[in-house]
Structure 1
Amino acid sequence: MTDTSTPPAVQPASGDLDGAKLVYILYFISFVVGITGIAGLIVAYLKRGSASAVAASHYTWQIRTFWIGLLYSVLGLISMFILIGWLILVATVVWFLVRSIKGFLAAGEGRAIENVDTWMW
């Protein structure tokens, strides 16, 4: 008797993206407790070197999200005296959330980030 069942779909290792998901969660929490964003950045730097290609794309995305977000935030703070700073800060929050949500959803599906070098989303 032969087995005619189809093999299960190949899934990424269950723990492969757990670190990346942790960093996304720390980034989300950073809107309430700011220091968790720095903790997430440290985790991303520590795990990127030994990660698979899929996970490494998430860590690179997260690291770039942190530093670009910090740059936009500083520009917003500097330009607050001419009132455009508030718009820059609001846009930065939206940008940061979109990138974090996009990355978290991709990590949940086991997909790599397609264009990690973009400054947008």
Structure 2
Amino acid sequence: MQAVDEEKLKNYNLITYVLYLVGFLVGITGLIALIMNYVKRNDMRGTWLESHVEWQIKTFWWCLLGYIIGSLLIFVLIGYLIIFVVMVWQIYRLVMGLNKLNAGQPIGVE
């Protein structure tokens, strides 16, 4: 029974990673993924999947902060660079998370 539940939670995490990635094209999906992460966060406590939920939540909030700062600084042109760097960092974190998820490993735990 535990393995079935873990597989469902792993698939749930996969869906949220994909929603975050689709968020580059359809912004609202990132917000949907964030809500989904908060809804299932307690179900994943104590499993290796908890690290993925925390990783995704932190990625969302730090990237949002970066995008806001970049947007505020666009008029001085450095904002474009900040937005680009945040976008690259976000893609990196999402791809790393997906790779670790597919390998059955926690993320961000050293």
Give yes or no for TM over 0.5: yes
Letter of the aligned partner of 1:82 in structure 2?
Answer: V
Paired with 1:55 and 1:115, the residues of 2 have a C-alpha distance of 11
Unaligned stretches of 5+ residues in structure 1: 1-11, 117-121
RMSD: 1.6
Which runs of at least 4 in structure 1 moved beyond 2 Å after TM superposition?
Answer: 12-16
**1:68 aligned residue:** 62
Moved more, 51-60 or 25-34: 51-60
Question: Please, what TM-score do these two structures have when normalized by structure 1?
Answer: 0.82
Question: What SS is found at the alignment partner of 1:14?
Answer: helix
From 8, 11, 22, give the equivalent of 1:15: 8
**Number of residue pairs aligned between Structure 1 and Structure 2:** 105
8 Å CA contact retained: 2:59, 2:90: yes
Q: Identical aligned pairs, as a percentage?
A: 35
Deviation per CA, 1:58-114: give whole Å up to 9, x if none.
000000000000000000000111100000000011000000000011111110013
Question: Please, what TM-score do these two structures have when normalized by structure 2?
Answer: 0.89
- Which has the larger Rg? 1
Of Structure 1 and Structure 2, which has the larger fraction of its residues in helix?
2
8 Å CA contact retained: 1:48, 1:55: no
